[in-house]
Amino acid sequence: MDNAIFRFAKPINEPVKSYAPGTAEKIALKQMLGQLSSEQWDIPLIIGGKEIRTGDTGKVVMPHNHKHVLATYHKAGPKEVQMAIDAAVKAQKEWSDLPWVERASVMMRIAELISTKYRYAVNASVMLGQSKNPMQAEIDAPCELIDFLRFSAFYAGQIYADQPYSDTGILNRMEYRALEGFVFTLTPFNFTSIASNLNLAPAMMGNTAVWKPSTTAIYSNYILMKIFHEAGLPDGVVNFIPGQGSVIGKVVTQSPDLAGFHFTGSTGTFNTLWRAIGENLGTYKSYPRIVGETGGKNFIFVHASAPAEDVATAIVRGAFEYQGQKCSAASRAYIPSCLWANVKERVGAMLQSIRMGDVTDFTNFVNAVIDEASFNNIMDYINYAKQSPDATVLFGGNGDKTEGYYIEPTVIVTTDPAFKTMSEEIFGPVITIYVYDESQYEETLALCDRTSPYGLTGSIFARDRYAIDKAFKLLRYSAGNFYINDKPTGAVIAQQPFGGSRASGTNDKAGGPLNLVRWTNPRTIKETYVSPTHYGYPFLGEK
């Protein structure tokens, strides 16, 4: 019997490869891109470790070249969803009874396989299927994905070691049980690392999952399932069921065994599923744990003391990396009038030099948005601004979906601080700027706080420390991740645990121990060494 008390050493973040000209990693990634581009896969459902093909299929295409089909995938119907639930429930007891170090070992093996054997396959799959340039793909999957796994094993050890105090004559313990049932995971297209973590964070704590991947990320997510299997993740711990969200959601939310819901996506979808769970509360064995990260309308707020060059760089990187399709992407900025001309000139110069196009051309900074629906939605916002007397499209504003779903990095300037593109999430390469009178700093901070229903990320640029402190206090609930003199994107696992509140989610901080605790069902255990033999207490004496 293994009775070691074991804890994993604190990891370091996975080093990010540069893919600079002439590097070995660039050569290897280019070769993998060529290999995957030449293949066309048939992607099944994976339920209880078995591949299932329903015959109801869809196509996976490259967003930057939508005539190029990467794969055909099979869709789950109600029968397959129930099969996945049954497989997860069946696997849960044995998986949760496994010593936690054994579960962690599987996670660490997955991380190592992705860091080494499958690094370029995972990276290339994200580039081709989700139209990320090599740097954006690298920091997502492999790097962030690996960090999630390694730090989850480390944090799990801390959680299990956290035990209550025992007084004289008794022994107190805390058992961190898995949830009773399965966890439904609904994952986004924009980060493959999040797709992995939404499944494997609950699994680290002994849970099993029914996974509905985003239709536009099925390609890279399927590679993950194959790696999970190779690493020894037991059959049924994660069940992969692509398909229509409304079909899958209806079966899942009516299951008595639903124990948790782990989500990243739109606020509207999250609200719909939370509402469905609420309507079925009498059905469940336990109240389901609901953990979700949703939308954002993230800001860059600039004080008059800020350097214009720093601000301009933050706007271009924060708003336009990965075509603005990050939950944390900068989509509104507040700039004092005394700095605006300088910032505008610098932003314009940077945008003039930016290239847009296919991900396989490493000179392109901007690539395609994810699909036609997204393209149309983003262009609707841009066209609204073009037609409004309260806004001007300063840079960009054009889109072309002939070959791929390309939209230019777009900067809108508005005179209305409550303008539609200042308050609504767009999820594309669009930022709206409101120029304010520098004498109205505090008033404009208050305006920033109340303009959007979201509270995900935001940043303040200033050299004046009093101004920073003022923003820090007045914007206290405006962002769950708050940045000082940096863009509001790029949270790193274990360094900046991620999440927001208000309409941005439950703020359970992915990438830290708080999220893992949500996937436990603690049981307090008290053992008395010598039990009392009479009911009486000293106060019952006659005198």
Q: What is the pLDDT of residue 304?
A: 98
Q: Which two tokens stand for residue 371?
A: 């699909």
Which residue out of 80, 293, 321, 425 is catalytically annotated?
293
The rounded distance, in Å, linking the Cα atoms of 300 and 459 is 5
Cα 487 to Cα 482: distance, rounded to the nearest angstrom: 10
CA triplet 105, 110, 114: central angle to 5 degrees? 145
The CA distances from residue 305 to 29, 301, 308, 434, 465, in Å, are 43, 12, 9, 17, 10
Q: Which of 143, 327, 425, 448 is catalytic?
A: 327
The CA distance from 348 to 316, in Å, is 9
With CA atoms as reference, report the closest residue to 195 among 114, 99, 89, 96: 114
| DSSP class of 234 | P
pTM over 0.85: yes
Does residue 228 contact residue 256 with C-beta atoms inside 8 Å? no
Q: Annotate 372-383 with b (16+ C-beta within 10 A) or e (fewer).
A: eebbeebbebbe
Give strand pairing partners of 502: 454
What pLDDT was estimated at residue 1? Answer: 53
pLDDT reported for residue 6: 86
Q: pLDDT in tens for each of the 543 residues of the chain? A: 567 788 899 999 999 999 999 999 999 999 999 999 999 999 999 999 999 999 999 999 999 999 999 999 999 999 999 999 999 999 999 999 999 999 999 999 999 999 999 999 999 999 999 999 999 999 999 999 999 999 999 999 999 999 999 999 999 999 999 999 999 999 999 999 999 999 999 999 999 999 999 999 999 999 999 999 999 999 999 999 999 999 999 999 999 999 999 999 999 999 999 999 999 999 999 999 999 999 999 999 999 999 999 999 999 999 999 999 999 999 999 999 999 999 999 999 999 999 999 999 999 999 999 999 999 999 999 999 999 999 999 999 999 999 999 999 999 999 999 999 999 999 999 999 999 999 999 999 999 999 999 999 999 999 999 999 999 999 999 999 999 999 999 999 999 999 999 999 999 999 999 999 999 999 999 999 999 999 999 899 876
How many Cβ atoms from other residues are within 10 Å of residue 120's Cβ?
Answer: 21
* d(C-alpha 311, C-alpha 532), whole Å: 70
> Quick one: CA dihedral 272, 278, 281, 286, positive or negative?
positive
Question: Is-catalytic flag, 448?
Answer: no
Quick one: pLDDT at residue 2? 67
- Answer yes or no: are the C-beta atoms of 472 and 497 closer than 8 Å: no
Tell me how many degrees the CA angle 133-356-132 measures, rounded to the nearest 5.
20
Torsion of CA 98, 180, 251, 296, to 10 degrees: -90
For residues 315 and 298, the answer to whether their CB atoms sit within 8 Å is no
Buried b (16+ CB within 10 A) or exposed e, 464-480: eeebbebbeebbeebbb
* CB of 19 closer than 8 Å to CB of 25: yes
338 catalytically annotated:
no
Q: Are 290 and 261 in contact (CB under 8 A)?
A: yes
Residues 6+ apart with CB under 8 A from 424: 297, 381
Query: What is the 3-state secondary structure of 492-535?
Result: CCCCCCECCEECCECCCCECCHHHHHCCEEEEEEEEECCCCCCC
Question: In this structure, how many other beta carbons lie within 10 angstroms of the beta carbon of residue 94?
Answer: 12
Provide the pLDDT for residue 542: 78
What SS3 class is residue 461? strand
Residues paired with 71 in a beta bridge: 41, 60
Show the tokens assigned to 154.
Answer: 């480390």
